Structure 1
Amino acid sequence: MTAFVIVLVLALALLFFLSRKLGDVGRVNMNPWLAGVNDCKYKYAWDGTGIAVDSANGCLHLLARFNGNPVAKTYPLSDVRSWRYEIPELIVERGGGVIGGGLTGASHNLGHGIGQAIANSVRESRVIENTGLYVDVRDIDHPEWFIKFRSRTPHDKATQMELRRWMEILAQHVNG
């Protein structure tokens, strides 16, 4: 019984840690970069990444992290090769498992339920961390840029609509 309590306490501590880390996502101060692209009609910034279309000058401003370091560059629209977005799918456990970190009534083994909760939380965190826009440009050092988009849940419809909006913005500006 003591081992069970220790496992339960450790699992709850891990779950708390993961939820806190997920809650800290997006806390990078974007104001300095946004001030530099203030005149751009279309701009987006989140968690140390950003994109802005400068229609007047025909260029694209990008900000991303490479090897943990922030890099900002400006490219003529003619250097933009392609773009796409990704929202990785979350595998949701069903049938007595745990969905989104809550225990279901059908889960008879508490240890298994906690393990499932942790696994689901880790998967959800990965989905949210990897949701964003990829922009490929003509640049030997930084050919692919990843702009992270804010997503509170793995199936966030508002984020999906924002990504689709950016697909259209880039299509109109790059393709004319």
Structure 2
Amino acid sequence: MAEVTNEPDPRLLGAYLTDHLTGAAAGVDLARRIAREHRDMPAGPALADMAADIAQDRAVLIQIMSDLGVPRRRHAFLLGRLAEKVGRLKPNRRLWRRSPMSSVVELESLWLGVNGKSRLWRTLRSAAVEDDRLEAGFLDHLCDRAKAQADEIEALRLRAVEEAFAVPARTRGRTGGRTGGRANG
């Protein structure tokens, strides 16, 4: 039986950051594509700004990895790009053009990615207590920024839900009935 030790393995943080860098590559591609698809719509400017912020967050992650001596792995970048491309292959009941449901699913995916990024910043914030290469105040700022991004994405997602499924704005956020969050039976 393998011996269990409480000694930290410095390679684990590197693997964790590389995994997040993979997700960040997919997130940047997705955010840019969403912004491009909506550029002529009312949400276009907000989505373009968000795509730029998400790209900047990826650059911050790369800088943090460099500061911590974690090498960038080219395969991580390529896997992230591939994941975003594969994510486009979803059933939307339309073969050659976007469905209104596409925006809902894409914004949900982006929201998940931003919340994952938020967990990354929180993890690094915890590590900053012991590692003076990490700046706690800056990580707090990144946590706040990720929360603001997630909130903005959720507002855009709710608008997309209204458009895709003809859900009146007044019913947003209500629960109950057959689809209100409780399992039947």
Higher strand share: 1
Higher helix share: 2
Q: Scaled by the length of structure 2, what TM-score is found?
A: 0.30
